[in-house]
Copies of this chain bind each other. A is one copy, B any other.
Amino acid sequence: MTLDERKRIILESIIKDYVETAEPVGSRAVVKKHGLKISAATVRNEMADLEEMGYLEQPHTSAGRIPSQSGFRYYVDCLMEKENLDEQEFESLQKVVKENFQERDNFIEEIAHFLSQVTNYASFVILPTVKFNEFKNLQIIPMEQGKALLLVVTDMGMIMHRKITIPEGMEAEELQSIAQAFNHIFGGKKLDKMRRSDLQMLRDALKQRRQVIDNALQAIDNLLKNNQNEKVLVSGTLNILNEPEFKNLDKLKRILTILDEDGPLKNIIPEAVSETVDIRIGRENELEDIKEMSLVFAGYKSFGEMGKIGVIGPVRMEYWKAAGTVESVRDFIDELFKKRF
């Protein structure tokens, strides 16, 4: 399925034109745009060939051609050159990182924002679960009257915290011994293996402090619930309002609804992602509702587990820019996470 040089040039130039204008591209336009030394009629013949091969299609007989999804696939596989961040964009990324790398949540949000700004598509960042982190250490720190702060630290350095109620007047030492009991039982366990059944042991070990323990367990339960699921962050969804293919209100609504909710989004992205950029074009996506959208995404590591970043846009997407950007950002934060999170 390799194309001769001329067909390639024509296909690529139709793709570039179509991506820019969202209009079918005619034979004359192809010749003009690239100052080709052949006539429109010749191009028409080539276009007819490309259509037969399935790379182009015609909305109706008297219109120009538009790239088919296979056409885009061929382009992405064989013709595309990724366009990485330019100097200015890279500086802006560094600035974003510098200002926000203090706190993980914030940071991730800003990264998503950056992605959508640079590409002009909707972007997403999926935070990995910490299921497979190990419970390393628990601390209970007395705060104001009757309150304490419960800290859970994992082997990868992830910290979770929650406020709990304790009996008034309880000594710090007592809290410490409770914490010790927890550490003894849960220490070294993967988070997803921590079971309520271990509770009995604790109860037995510390008959007197049932209330604190119950509160603490409740809090841990809650922390785990909050962190065991992947968190999804989306940014720039409104970019799709600019795309003429979604000027239909119903379609728009369907897409925005998907992007607005966490649930569907998680299912959109394939479970297994690699650390290289992957592209899913239109019908290649499994979810029915996004068969008119394309995904460009890649995996990164944080706290030892796999997260995902990417952009989502119309099939008529600037794949070269999207792929380059996702790649650059992925590499950048992956490197960063190695050091910090």
Contact = CB atoms under 8 A, between A and B. Distances in A.
Interface of A: 102-103, 106, 136-137, 139, 141, 143-144, 147, 149, 151, 153, 157, 159, 161-163, 218-219, 222, 226, 237-238, 241, 247, 249, 252-253, 256-257, 260
A253 B226 contact: no
Contacts of A147: 157
A151 B140 CA distance: 13
A115 to B, nearest CB: 16
Contact of A143 (B157, B226, B252, B256): B157
Contacts of A151: 141, 149
Contacts of A153: 143-144
Contacts of A136: 144
Contacts of A241: 249, 252-253, 256
A230 to B, nearest CB: 16
Nearest to A218: B102
Nearest to A144: B157
B106 A226 contact: yes
A247 B248 CA distance: 10
B219 A102 contact: yes
A260 B256 CA distance: 12
Contact of A103 (B157, B159, B222): B222
Contact of A256 (B238, B249, B257): B238
Residue of A102, A103, A218, A226 most packed against chain B (CB within 10 A)? A102
Contacts of A249: 241, 247, 249
- Cβ-closest 4 pairs across A and B: A102-B222, A241-B253, A144-B157, A238-B256
A159 B219 CA distance: 16
A218 to B, nearest CB: 8
A202 B327 CA distance: 44
A270 to B, nearest CB: 26
Given A102-B219, A237-B260, A249-B249, 4 more contacts: A106-B226, A137-B143, A143-B159, A149-B151
A159 B164 CA distance: 12
Contacts of A144: 136, 153, 157
A249 B163 CA distance: 46
A114 to B, nearest CB: 15
- Considering residues A219, A237, A249, which has the most beta carbons from chain B within 10 angstroms of its beta carbon? A249
Nearest to A247: B249
A157 B157 CA distance: 26
Contacts of A237: 260
B162 A161 contact: no
A13 to B, nearest CB: 30
Contacts of A219: 102
